[in-house]
Structure 1
Amino acid sequence: MRLFLRERASHSPHTLRAYVTELRRLAAWCTREGLGPLSDLTRQDLMAYRDVLHASHADAAGNVRRAAPATVSRALATISSLFAWWHRTGYLSVNPAEGLAAGRRARMMWTPVRFLPGAALAHCDAVAAGDAPADVPPTVWARRRAICTLYRFAGVRLAELVWHEELALPHIEVDEARQWTLHVNGKGGKERAIPLPSACLPALRMYRRLRGLPAEPPPGERLPLIHSERGRALGVSRLYDEVRAVFALAATRVPMEDSAIRAALERASTHWLRHGYARTLVVDHRVPLPVAQALLGHASVQTTAAYARTDNSQLSLPTTNVMRKCVL
């Protein structure tokens, strides 16, 4: 089990936590049913567990609830991945979980919905481009701007901005044409190169100058992109908190009557920015799906194609004061 988790989930603490949660859930069910170890489960056992996941249940308050389809799909995908790995490495002679998860069909039907509407993004951009709040030091504010800029315009996963000392990733290269390219350690340990638009550069240059670095990364630079106040590289939780701090500040500056935008900002996370970046590539700029897949680091082009199914009804909000200000 440790070898499986190290190979399939060690690239991201969030993926590791999700895998461990689902496998513990399966182990708890096996304990209740008097089954186990996991490697002894038959196909009938696994199908029975799938039925349990799909079934309705009563919570502590007595309310009948059914697990969300995405939750069931995630649980079955984790189990299928474990048994497929066991089978591939020779630990099991057959794979009883073959076809247990919806797999490709689930990817084809999946449609992303966690987006920040255009008005909310424009409002965030305006807030981030402004002066630092009175209670935030300029260096901290510059760091937050730089972090938000990278998630906003590079579409990276949360953990992909965490510094990897051995790989010297992530890092930025500047070519002869002055084009900035972000290199990250992507999912599955695959390096990915993402061209950065010019909108990124002012925030990144300002942050570098305040850190005492040249405005543009020199060739061969091996330094973390983002530092804490003590000079250490920021981890996943700190990166997440920095982005959430900008969202929270932006939410406080939304007029009271624009409740929809304020609510979206209060719920948003870094992955919402990744969804927005993906949709911009696929829908707004009509980037070919294989190219968008490479930029996003998707294992399947079907995941990338899902963004083409998003429509305006998922992103539309009533015309608000914030939207009118952005247009003006």
Structure 2
Amino acid sequence: MTTIWIDHGVTPPVPVPTEVDAALAYLGHVLGHPCYERWTLSRMKRSFVSLGEAKKIKPTAFGLLLDHPEAVEWWERGRLRTAAIEDAPDPSKVLTALLHTHRRRFRPTDGIMPARSETVGDAGTWIARIESKQTAELMRWLARGGRFVNQQPGTNTLAVVEDLDALASFLRERASKSRHTLRAYASEMRRLVTWCRDRQLGPLSDLTRGDLLQYHRHLAQAHVTTDMAGSPTVKLPAPTTVSRAMATVASLYEYWHETGYLIANPAAKLVNGSQKRTGYSPQRFLPPALVTACDAWALTTVEKSEDITLLRRRAIWALYRFSGVRLAELAWSQDTGLPRIEAEASDRWTLHVHGKGDKLRSIPLPMACVRQLRAYRIARGLPGEPGAAESVPLIHGFKGGSLQESGLFDQVKSLFCEVAKQIEHQDPGQAALLRAASPHWLRHTYAKSLVVDHKVPLPAAQMLLGHASVETTAAYAKTDLSQLREFVDESFTVDE
């Protein structure tokens, strides 16, 4: 029986063409990048204004056509590769690899189109957000109800009696509007479930108020972690981190109680309401000397390198360094097609991201960033300038698809550790600080540069940073004691 692949990335889901060339053309259209292209000199003449333009846009393929009758471009692991026809892979193998890479979007059937009810998301789709690798095991653990589950259909408006369905409903209704909220909620649910399983507690609807208080104490405890260099470090969670985790747990039980799934709310008034950030004062910045050292690494180590691993790392550094985006905002989303780069001209690039609160944001990029991104794109086999209709992951993964948050985090930390090694003998204190830094420090550094160093108007800085409140942006001005000292000295001069 012929296997039919279904594209679940569109509504309603549609079958992928069964013929190989047609399927590759379809994938190229919906994925936004070429998947398998055959080039001859005659096609080059038809496709471009001149052979000179063809050589500029397709230099590798053009060079191969000087010695071979046909060249092939194909997409493999996030890169456009090129080879002579006799060295290129079979198109059917390229198609199979692409379908496997995007297996969350393209799913096989045995020759029968699935019913409509089978193509829409169910509980498993939401639970997979919590645990993507062992989803089935987590679903089995959740497929039961605890002592507080309401068995009366007249008052249980969720009409379910297992945590599996009740938790999926919570994520669907409370977190689906923002991928950042969904990611945060899923992370906290994973942490709570892990804690329960380690102590043989559960299901979630069976936890008492005492259990949740014990979980609260667990979150606030210091723990030992290992940095990128392998050195153990004792870390005490920030109060805001603990509060945020408990607020998510409280939201879950509040939702379950309000919808009638639970007969009691063990988390009632367990946490205070939302706390205003009146005392917010960001402190984690990279000193200018360390930023300069990282910039120097990007220039000296990578400038003449053709190693795409280093070029990718430098591009990631440049994006966080020169755009001030949050870690998750550089993680590619197939649903939104973001983040993406728009090029109005060769030196006017804009980064578009999907930020917190489901808000879109546009950030102009300086030429220092554009040059590094262009070199990375060319190494991937992409044109130096992004096209208007281009829809490819901004940062590719070597195993296919895109580099997500954990991978982006690791790349920045790797750069920090490389630079820390270089400066260790000169300034061990600064090297230790750099090893402790995270990508979010670059966001704070970017914000401080705007508000303090360059005195950008607060409303403009707020737009660039994507802050919901201008008070958050203004907080960066409160952190520079040297500027306050300058203001005081100028205001109170004494003639001697």
Q: TM-score range by the shorter chain?
A: 0.7 to 0.9
Secondary structure at 1:173's aligned position in 2? Answer: strand
What CA distance in whole angstroms lies between the structure 1 residues aligned with 2:223 and 2:351?
46
| Distance apart, 1:17 and its partner CA | 5.1
2:281 paired residue among 106, 111, 116: 111
Query: What are the superposed Cα offsets for residues 269-316 of structure 1, whole Å, 9 maximum, x if unpaired?
Result: 111111111222222233333333332223333333332221258xxx
Answer yes or no: is the 8 Å Cα contact 1:155–1:278 preserved in 2: yes
What CA distance in whole angstroms lies between the structure 1 residues aligned with 2:219 and 2:379?
55
What CA distance in whole angstroms lies between the structure 1 residues aligned with 2:369 and 2:475?
26
In structure 2, the residue matched to 1:155 is 324
What CA distance in whole angstroms lies between the structure 2 residues aligned with 1:231 and 1:157?
23
Answer yes or no: is the 8 Å Cα contact 2:355–2:361 preserved in 1: yes
In structure 1, the residue matched to 2:437 is 268
What CA distance in whole angstroms lies between the structure 2 residues aligned with 1:212 and 1:131?
21
What CA distance in whole angstroms lies between the structure 2 residues aligned with 1:113 and 1:205?
33
Answer yes or no: is the 8 Å Cα contact 1:80–1:101 preserved in 2: no
| Distance apart, 1:222 and its partner CA | 1.0
Query: What are the superposed Cα offsets for residues 23-46 of structure 1, whole Å, 9 maximum, x if unpaired?
Result: 559989xx99xx9667xx9xxx69
Answer yes or no: is the 8 Å Cα contact 1:123–1:250 preserved in 2: yes
In structure 1, the residue matched to 2:312 is 143
| Distance apart, 1:172 and its partner CA | 0.6
| Unpaired segments ≥5 residues, structure 1 | 314-328
Q: Which TM-score applies when normalising by structure 2?
A: 0.51
Query: What are the superposed Cα offsets for residues 96-130 of structure 1, whole Å, 9 maximum, x if unpaired?
Result: 8679436343x111222221111111110111111
Query: Which structure has greater helix proportion?
Result: 1
1:78 paired residue among 245, 248, 253: 248
The answer to whether residue 345 in structure 2 is matched with residue 173 in structure 1 is no
What CA distance in whole angstroms lies between the structure 2 residues aligned with 1:129 and 1:244?
18
| Distance apart, 1:59 and its partner CA | 9.4
Residues 225 and 300 of structure 1, relative CA distance in 2, 3 Å threshold: same
> Which structure is larger by alpha-carbon Rg, 1 or 2?
2
In structure 2, the residue matched to 1:11 is 179
| Unpaired segments ≥5 residues, structure 2 | 1-166, 225-234, 483-496
In structure 1, the residue matched to 2:151 is none
| Distance apart, 1:88 and its partner CA | 8.9
| Distance apart, 1:82 and its partner CA | 4.4
Query: What are the superposed Cα offsets for residues 190-222 of structure 1, whole Å, 9 maximum, x if unpaired?
Result: 222111122211101111111222222121211
Query: Which structure has greater strand proportion?
Result: 2
Q: How does 1:147-226 map to 2 (within 5 A)?
A: 147-176=316-345, 178-226=347-395
Answer yes or no: is the 8 Å Cα contact 1:163–1:170 preserved in 2: yes
What CA distance in whole angstroms lies between the structure 2 residues aligned with 1:268 and 1:80?
31
Q: How does 1:275-314 map to 2 (within 5 A)?
A: 275-312=444-481
User: Relative contact order: is structure 1 or structure 2 higher (C-alpha 8 Å, sep ≥ 6)?
Assistant: 1
What CA distance in whole angstroms lies between the structure 2 residues aligned with 1:235 and 1:56?
28
What CA distance in whole angstroms lies between the structure 1 residues aligned with 2:354 and 2:205?
37
* Bigger mean CA deviation after superposition, 70-79 or 266-275: 70-79
What CA distance in whole angstroms lies between the structure 2 residues aligned with 1:83 and 1:71?
19
Secondary structure at 2:423's aligned position in 1? Answer: coil
Secondary structure at 1:101's aligned position in 2? Answer: coil
What CA distance in whole angstroms lies between the structure 2 residues aligned with 1:59 and 1:237?
20
Secondary structure at 1:194's aligned position in 2? Answer: strand
* Bigger mean CA deviation after superposition, 196-205 or 275-284: 275-284
What CA distance in whole angstroms lies between the structure 2 residues aligned with 1:71 and 1:269?
16
Residues 102 and 247 of structure 1, relative CA distance in 2, 3 Å threshold: same
What CA distance in whole angstroms lies between the structure 2 residues aligned with 1:268 and 1:5?
32
Secondary structure at 2:278's aligned position in 1? Answer: helix
Structure 2: which amino acid aligns with 1:145? R
Secondary structure at 1:182's aligned position in 2? Answer: strand
Q: How does 1:4-83 map to 2 (within 5 A)?
A: 4-6=170-172, 7-8=174-175, 11-12=179-180, 15-16=184-185, 18-20=187-189, 49=213, 68-79=238-249, 81-82=251-252
RMSD (CA atoms): 4.2
| Distance apart, 1:169 and its partner CA | 0.9
Query: What are the superposed Cα offsets for residues 214-257 of structure 1, whole Å, 9 maximum, x if unpaired?
Result: 22212121111112335531122221221112111111110513
2:421 paired residue among 243, 252, 255: 252
Secondary structure at 1:172's aligned position in 2? Answer: strand
| Distance apart, 1:183 and its partner CA | 0.7
Residues 180 and 59 of structure 1, relative CA distance in 2, 3 Å threshold: closer
What CA distance in whole angstroms lies between the structure 2 residues aligned with 1:296 and 1:58?
31
> Percent identity between the aligned chains?
47
Structure 2: which amino acid aligns with 1:240? F
What CA distance in whole angstroms lies between the structure 1 residues aligned with 2:457 and 2:275?
20
Answer yes or no: is the 8 Å Cα contact 2:285–2:445 preserved in 1: yes
Structure 2: which amino acid aligns with 1:267? A
